[in-house]
Amino acid sequence: MISRVRAALDAIDPELGAFITVDADGALARARNAPSGRAEGLVVAVKDLIDTAGLRTTYGSIRYADHFPLRTAPIVADLERAGAVVIGKTNLNEFAYGVSGYNPHHGLMRLPLDRSRTPGGSSGGSAIAVATGAADVGIGTDTSGSIRIPAACCGIVGFCCAAGAVSMDDVQPLAPAYDRAGYLTRTIPTLQRVLGIRRLPQVRGLRTVFAAELPLPALPDEHWTLFREQAHEIHREPAAREPWAYGADLHVKLDQPVGDRVRAREVMRAWRAEVAATLRDVDLHVGPVIDGPAPRVSDVLADYRNGTLHSSAPLLTHAPAANALGWPALAVPTPDGPRQILGRPGAEPALLALGAELSRAVVSPSPFDQP
């Protein structure tokens, strides 16, 4: 385990902007005494929105630049008890409010295979760490696709847990009704170990449909009314009180009107019923994760300067539906580009089985992945 941690540390490229805090000495010390378990041998990078006792946790904000939590979030502690070793805390959009892959306080996150682009966000740092071998597992959060979007941009696996499947205790909230935890890995077998799923079903027994033949009902704009309602409640007052401590992009988002909450709730109830009816005889739905390629650094920086969100819009067409439904969702690379697999809560083994099948032609075991 010590040699794996050292290899992970050596794989960190500071120019990619994956990490806010690297805990090299602590990781090596923990590796010497790591317990046995399902996650034995795995190096973990934790999104810096998630508390880790004694290890600086900034939430991507200068307001928390010197924040050292007293407790470790259950999602991290679970893997540590199972033998994993945390190597550090990863970069993110400030307070996870955005998908651009840019943090004005901690810098750009750059796509490893094309540094003129970002990996998207908000869990971009965790995706970079996994894609480059600086971690076997990235722990992230996903409120509108923030795990699946950077996974798609980086060509790796990203899993968003179902609502309530994983504790969100000691995780800084953004929009609690839609906040989910999840994981990024290079391969499905590693994700299977992390989730503790021992056996996957046969793909041929699954009722699978593709978006080209059965598109999901479009997510109504009213979803964003309810999203803003929650995000504003958490961040609007502090941003008004300490405007210097918030990036310009957050001020743009927090200045947006919330909208008609009552109508939004009615519209969203009808949309969920329509989705349930559409997928009544379906186990898994496969569709795109994002529209187009990863965002260009130049476009992301132009958006920040100009107070616009143009580069983020194509990333948010498909992924937020899973959060609005509370369903688990898996992003995998395929020969036809990244694809999202959506299923009901309880369908996690089926998602992984189909994900392994769809990604088989483009994903090969990495030398960093433990058997």
Please identify every residue annotated as catalytic. 47, 122, 146
36 three-class SS = coil
The rounded distance, in Å, linking the Cα atoms of 91 and 124 is 7
Task: Extract the tokens encoding 222.
Answer: 């009213």
Instruction: Count the helix, strand and coil residues of the chain and give each as a percent rounded to the nearest 5.
Output: 40, 15, 45
Q: Which residues of 310-344 are buried (b: 16+ CB within 10 A; e: fewer)?
A: ebbeebbbbbbbbbbbbbbbbbbbbeeebbbbbbb
C-beta separation of 129 from 27 below 8 A: no
E strand or H helix that includes residue 254: helix 248-254
Supply the DSSP symbol for 289. Answer: S
Look at residues 130, 215, 195, 167 and name the one whose alpha carbon lies nearest to residue 355. Answer: 195
Task: Extract the tokens encoding 202.
Answer: 């046969």
Task: Extract the tokens encoding 227.
Answer: 């999203």
Task: Extract the tokens encoding 81.
Answer: 């008890």
253 three-class SS = helix
Q: Which residues of 213-242 are buried (b: 16+ CB within 10 A; e: fewer)?
A: eeebeebeebbbbbbbbbbbebbbeebeee
365 three-class SS = coil
The amino acid at residue 153 is C
E strand or H helix that includes residue 282: none
Look at residues 289, 294, 341, 46 and name the one whose alpha carbon lies nearest to residue 144. Answer: 289
Q: Write the CA distances from 266 to 195, 226, 229, 263, 269, integer angstroms.
A: 35, 11, 15, 5, 5
